[in-house]
Structure 1
Amino acid sequence: MTTALTLRSQAETLAAHLPPLLAEAEHLAATVLLGDHGRRRAGTGDTFWQYRPAQTHDAARSIDWRRSARSDARFVQDKEWQIAQSVILWVDQGASMGFASDDHATKGDRARILAMALAVLLIRGGERVGLTGLRLPPRRGGAQLQQMAQILSEQAATDHGSPDATGLLPHARALFVSDFLGNIDGVRDALARAADRGVKGALLQVLDPQEEVFPFDGRTIFQSMTGSVQHETLRARDLKSRYLDRLAARKVELAQLARMTGWQFHTHHTGQSATQALLWLYGALERRR
């Protein structure tokens, strides 16, 4: 009986996060005003998109004679591109993502909201969206969003997560969201495996504003979110320049890794507009090479 009650309590605690997460993601997605056809472009399909003047290479059977009869020019119907694309997401669920200063959202909350809002937009546009690993392969529909929200509400026991490159489909798109402050070898390996599969995508680094300015002075105890690492100093200010140099070097390394593998890289702060970050993500995954 105790086990059943504990399981129910854990399930209710987890489920309590889902409506706010989905609701906020839906609201954020709505702010970008992309509509139901945000990813529309000409291509193979059955849905009418727009009329365009006929070109010399257009076959006579492709001419819309009814539309052409209303003018001196000949017109062709462009069809909407309808080849569904698979987009696979990884969001760092390590304990370090739980950090927040002042009244800002935690890095993890912002990362989850952005990933979910992007998924809403992509699924609305007809794409298949899933998570790395084997728990949630790319699919469409509201049920997929529910399962994604549940999985992303979990938290790992380690301080820093490492990108999971399993489940990346050949020539798919991918998004990795993290503070990327842990061991960078996992990022390097995941991008190399993605490149081997022809996967292109985006790295979004989410940082708290405090992590960019290092406002500490005097006696300070620095401790990881899990408490596994701790460092005490009497003169925190003496660490500032070295910390900022290492942070800048990490950003440069991430940008170089992204460039070498055909990915995009961007840093977002939790004090900034989530809408702008979402627009960047959408544009980064829209790029074709």
Structure 2
Amino acid sequence: MSHSALSTLRTRAEALAAPLPDLQAQAERLARTLLLGGHGRRQVGTGDEFWQYRPVQTGDSARAIDWRRSAQSDAQFVREKEWQAAQSVHLWVDRSAAMQFSSAQELGSKGDRAAVLALALSILLMKGGERVALAALGAPPRIGALQLTRISEALTSTDTADYGAPDATGFMPHANAVLISDFMGPIAAVEAAVATCADRGIKGALFQILDPAEEAFPYQGRTIFTSMGGAVSHETRRAGDLRDRYRDRLAERKDRLSILAKRAGWQFDTHHTDGSAQAALLWLYTALEGPR
């Protein structure tokens, strides 16, 4: 390879890597707020902290039985402890063109918020001993600094498609999953992904990220609406007349996502980019416990 070609390659590589330190720093700071707060996930596992008693089930060993508690009744009980064993969590983060929308520069895009939250969540999960996979990598869940670097790199890339379509075909059975998107595109792909997860015993959460302008629809007068990918464009002279219909459609989409999540035993929430990232991260972290 010639010197000029090497120089060009290095320049392109540096430009590609430039967002990574900032993303990692933001995610580390965000994750630290939860770690300092002592928030934890209450799940059954092999830890040291007592959680609850439950009746003996087929497959439980005699060593697992708490004979002192069992002696107090006619049934036998197992003493369950708080979850600490390694589990697997799959993340799908929408990196489509639609996620790059921002109504104000100081807010940042939906995609930026999604990337920071996904990486911060990965940091928290790995610090808790859990393995994490990002669907875009096409690899099984892993743990460690190298996996975090891979996730960071993938989260800085973008897709040319107008809207994202989650694909859960590579998700492991009985794992956990989080799908992060604005969910403004065709919903069939989301329904198919959640159905695939439900068939495999995967529990998780749908997390919708919206710009506040997408919620309020503050537009008036002559307005040209163009999709971020440029594939769709609509011009109107009275944008304000569309507000009620738009809000109704958005409410219908949220209801559909909420019902979809509930039927699968999942969690659903909507977050706005002008809202607290810490609150969003806490919701994501605790949502993996399942329905409450």
TM-score range, shorter chain: 0.7 to 0.9
Is 2:66 aligned against 1:58?
A: yes
Q: Partners in 2 of 1:166 and 1:3 — Cα distance?
A: 39
Question: 8 Å contact 1:206–1:267 — kept in the other structure?
Answer: yes
SS in 2 for 1:265: strand
Match of 1:176 in 2: 179
Shift of 1:199: 0.6
Is 2:264 aligned against 1:261?
A: yes
Q: Structure 1 residues 94, 133: CA separation in 2 closer, same or farther (over 3 Å shift)?
A: closer
Aligned-pair identity in percent equals: 57
User: AA paired with 2:222?
Assistant: R
Match of 1:252 in 2: 255
Q: Partners in 2 of 1:288 and 1:210 — Cα distance?
A: 30
**TM-score, normalising length: structure 1:** 0.85
SS in 2 for 1:32: helix
Aligned length: 267
Where do 5+ consecutive residues of structure 2 fail to align? Answer: 53-64, 69-78
Match of 1:30 in 2: 32
SS in 2 for 1:180: coil
Counterparts of residues 55-134 of structure 1 (less than 5 Å):
58-59=66-67, 81-102=83-104, 103-132=106-135
Q: Give CA deviations for 1:140-179 in whole Å, capped at 9, x if unaligned.
A: 1111111100011110011111112121000000000000
Name the Cα RMSD after superposition: 2.4
SS in 2 for 1:267: strand
Q: Give CA deviations for 1:46-82 in whole Å, capped at 9, x if unaligned.
A: xx44799xxxx6348xxxxxxxxxxxxxxxx986644
Q: Partners in 2 of 1:202 and 1:222 — Cα distance?
A: 30
Where do 5+ consecutive residues of structure 1 fail to align? Answer: 61-76
Counterparts of residues 191-210 of structure 1 (less than 5 Å):
191-210=194-213
**TM-score, normalising length: structure 2:** 0.84
Match of 2:154 in 1: 151
User: AA paired with 1:172?
Assistant: A
SS in 2 for 1:156: coil
Question: 8 Å contact 1:133–1:166 — kept in the other structure?
Answer: no
Q: Partners in 1 of 2:269 and 2:67 — Cα distance?
A: 44
Shift of 1:219: 0.5
